[in-house]
Each structure stands twice: as structure tokens, then as C-alpha cells.
Homo-oligomer: A and B are copies of this chain.
Amino acid sequence: MKMSVSLGMETEKITYIEESGLLFEKLGLTRMAGRVFGYLIVSEEDQASFDQIRKVLQASKGSISGTMKQLLNAGMVEAVSLPGDRKTYYRPSKIKIGDILKYRMKQFDDFARILSRGEELKSKKDDVSEWLIEASTFYLWIGEQLDEIIDKWESEKTKIIEEYRQNHEERIES
């Protein structure tokens, strides 16, 4: 196995970056996007330059260029420019976490729509029709519920995070 990350980075972080690549691939994004995101996460610097990313991940400029666009477009990464410096720097964006989920839930809208259209196309109404109606309604409904929950998160997150932190510590102590 060729290790594609190096330049004085700890083995653990190199492994992490590759795992992030594989996860992104599983989520339908590209492996390189996952590597870049992983690198930006575990890098100790506040931001990394295009060329730094390219060198660490040992990829071509073209590949990094396309990947940065993907990540910017998905809102996962932010570009930073500095006066007196023509380079572009990148850092993980502090995107509202609920927005990632909302974005992903759009997939369910599509799924709901295809189920509902399928039901309309059937001339015979049977128990599959029933199921189709039920399933597409479910996705409409769950979308609304999720919006409410995400609002709840935004307003109560400090408290919730604190609760989770305590739970975690309790487990370690016992």
C-alpha cells in the first residue's frame, strides 16, 4: 500500500486522513475530498495553502483544484485570502451542523416524490399502493419534524453538549 501522505506527519494522522477519504467515498463524495477535509481537521495550523495541501497529499494541482471546488461548494471548507499574499488558504468551515443534515434530507424528498409518482402511475390500487402512500407521506412528515428538532438543537445545544460531556466522563470514571 502506497502511503500518499507524509512530510513529517504522525502515522495516526496519516491513517486518519485515509480513513476520512474512504468515508467520504462511501457518502458519495470523492476520496480526495475526504483526504483534504481530514487533513484540514487534524492539521495543527489554522489553515493550509493550496500548495501545502497538494504536497502533503501528493496529488496534482488539477486534482486539488477540482477537489477544493467540491468542498467549497458543499460548504465544508472556507477559502481565506490574506493581504500581501497571493496564495489562497483553506480551513474547515464552521458550517451549521444541522445544515449538512438538511442538505442530505433532500435525498429523501426525491425518494418520497418517486414513491408518490409510482403510486399515481398504477391503475390498480393494491397493498403496494397503500405502502407507497404511507411511505411518501412519511418522508414529507419527517422533513417537518426534523426542521423542528434542528431548531431545538440550535437553541439548546450548549445544554445538550454539556449533558453528553458529563455522561461520557461518568463512563470513563466507572
Contacts and interface: CB of A to CB of B under 8 A. Distances in A.
A76 to B, nearest CB: 11
Interface string A54-89: 000000000000000000000000000000000000
Contacts of A127: 94
A46 interface: yes
Contacts of A142: 101, 149, 153
A27 B92 contact: no
Contact of A108 (B101, B124, B134, B140): B101
Q: Is the interface of A mostly helix, strand, loop or mixed?
A: helix
A51 interface: no
Interface in A120-144: 121-124, 126-128, 131-135, 137-142
Interface in A84-113: 91-92, 94, 97-98, 101, 107-108, 110-111
Question: Contact size class for A?
Answer: 35 or more
Q: Which 6 A-B pairs have the closest CB atoms?
A: A41-B118, A97-B135, A97-B138, A42-B121, A137-B164, A137-B161
Interface of A: 10, 12-13, 16, 19-20, 23, 26-28, 38, 41-42, 44, 46, 91-92, 94, 97-98, 101, 107-108, 110-111, 114-115, 117-118, 121-124, 126-128, 131-135, 137-142, 145-146, 149, 153, 157, 160-161, 164
